[in-house]
Each structure stands twice: as structure tokens, then as C-alpha cells.
Amino acid sequence: MRIHLKWERKYLDILVLTAYYNFMLEVTIIRIYQSKVGKVFRVIIIMLLVLIENQVVMSLINRGLYVGRFQPFHLGHLGAIKEALTKVDELVIVIGSAQHSHKLKNPFTAGERLVMIQHSLQEANVDLDRVWIVPVPDMHLHMLWVSAVEGYVPKFNKLYSNEPLTRRLFIESGYTVENISLFDRKMYSSTFVREKMLKGEDWEVLVPKSVADFIKNIDGINRLRDLARTDKI
């Protein structure tokens, strides 16, 4: 309850400030139109004022970004998300390699991964109003990938990642990048989960219950085994 009240107060403050800025913007626009400056100059000033207002409002929301392929979503992912949500108002979860599926390293579709994430967060009582889940396809050029992500997701001001290339790309694009705690990386790895599925070992203890149920419902294990017959492990 205290957490919910904290975020409700935060968003109430944002709404009040947004309303104030909108009112002041309207008053300023009216005064500009009533002034004697040229029409083109008036339009330029108004555009700049709108841009400034958007930037001010955005600065009030501390929104982070967390990127993964989630093939499948496991307890390490869940722990990282819960940790990030203690530091930001909202978190954008990017489902990377969204165009890939039915491959040994990428067996699940973007839609299936989205369902896994959403069900897992609901199971863990995470406030979904504070989370955005956005599939993003790969780019062939690394230097264009951050720009592609920016085009798919709402504005954010920091990245949570331990992956070296992802960190480097966002640092060079001017973003704040923070580490996330490693939740037994050797065990909580999507590769490790898939290997256990193929070997018929106990993989369900590594993922949220809702993910295990979902994978079994879509016959995901047999899908992975069929893919293993044609692809390299």
C-alpha cells in the first residue's frame, strides 16, 4: 500500500505540473499572437515553447530501459526487473530480436515472450501500470540500433544492463547506464534453461510458474526438440 501511495503522489505531482505548464503555454501563445512580431517568427517561438514544455514534463518521469531476448523469460530476468523498479518510476522492457522465432537459440515468438513477461509480472504482483513491454527487431548495423530502440519505445533516461555491447552502444549515445545485480548468472540463463529442456532435466525451477505453464501449453519443449534436429545445439 505504501508503494502504491508513493507512486500515486508522484504521478499526481506530474499531472499538476503538466496542467500548469499547459496553462502557461496557452497564455504565452495568446500573447505572442497578440504581439507585433512577424508570423514566421511567432510560429518558431511557439514550436520552441512546445518542445521545451515536452522536455520539462519528461524530466519529471524517471524511466528506465531493460533489454533482453527472454528465450525464455526466467527468474533472473524477474529479479532484475524488480530491482530496476525500485530505482525508477517506470521501466520499459524491450523484447530484443523480435523478428526471430522457431530457431534453436530463439524458439519463441515476440508475442509468446510478451505473454511470458506479462504473466510473470502479474504472478509476482508487479504493478503493470509502471511497466512498458515493447518488442524491437534487430538492426544489421550496431551503430543504428539505439536510434531504432528510441523509435519504438517511450522516452527513457537510463539503461539497466550488464551486457557489454548493449552498454557501450547506449553510453556512446549519451545515456546513463547502470549495472543490475547478477542473480546466479550461471544458473539463471536462457541458454541453460533451453539446454535443460532438451536434456529432459528439471528446468521449471528456473522460471516463474506461469512461464512453465505457458511453455507446456504451447508445446514449447517439443518445438525446441524439433528445432534441435535440424540446428546445432
Cis peptide before 164 (omega within 30 of 0): no
- One-letter amino acid of 100: H
Contacts of 7 (CB under 8 A, 6+ apart): 89, 127, 130
Q: What are the pLDDT tens digits along the chain (233 aa)?
A: 444 444 555 555 555 555 555 555 565 656 655 665 556 555 565 566 555 555 555 556 899 999 999 999 999 999 999 999 999 999 999 999 999 999 999 999 999 999 999 999 999 999 999 999 999 999 888 889 999 999 999 999 999 999 999 999 999 999 999 998 866 666 789 999 999 999 999 999 999 999 999 999 999 999 999 999 875 54
Contacts of 221 (CB under 8 A, 6+ apart): 197, 215
Q: Report the pLDDT value the prediction gives residue 1, as an integer from 0 to 100.
A: 40
Q: Report the pLDDT value the prediction gives residue 34, as an integer from 0 to 100.
A: 61
Q: Report the pLDDT value the prediction gives residue 2, as an integer from 0 to 100.
A: 41
Give 201-209 contacts, CB < 8 A, sequence gap 24+: 206/74, 206/75, 207/72, 207/73, 207/74, 207/75, 208/73, 208/74, 208/75, 208/78, 208/119, 208/120, 208/123, 208/124, 209/123
Q: In this structure, what C-alpha cell is assigned to residue 94? A: 524491450
In the sheet with 90-95, reading across from the earlier edge strand, the strands are 131-135, 90-95, 63-68, 158-160, 176-178
Q: Exposed, middle or buried: residue 148 (CB in 10 Å: 0-12, 13-18, 19+)?
A: middle
Domain chopping of the chain, boundaries: 2-59, 63-227
The owner of cell 502557461 is 24
Q: Report the pLDDT value the prediction gives residue 107, as an integer from 0 to 100.
A: 97
Q: Report the pLDDT value the prediction gives residue 3, as an integer from 0 to 100.
A: 46
For the domain 63-227, what is the CATH superfamily, name and number? HUPs (3.40.50.620)
Q: Report the pLDDT value the prediction gives residue 21, as an integer from 0 to 100.
A: 52
The owner of cell 535440424 is 230
Beta bridge pairs of residue 132: 92
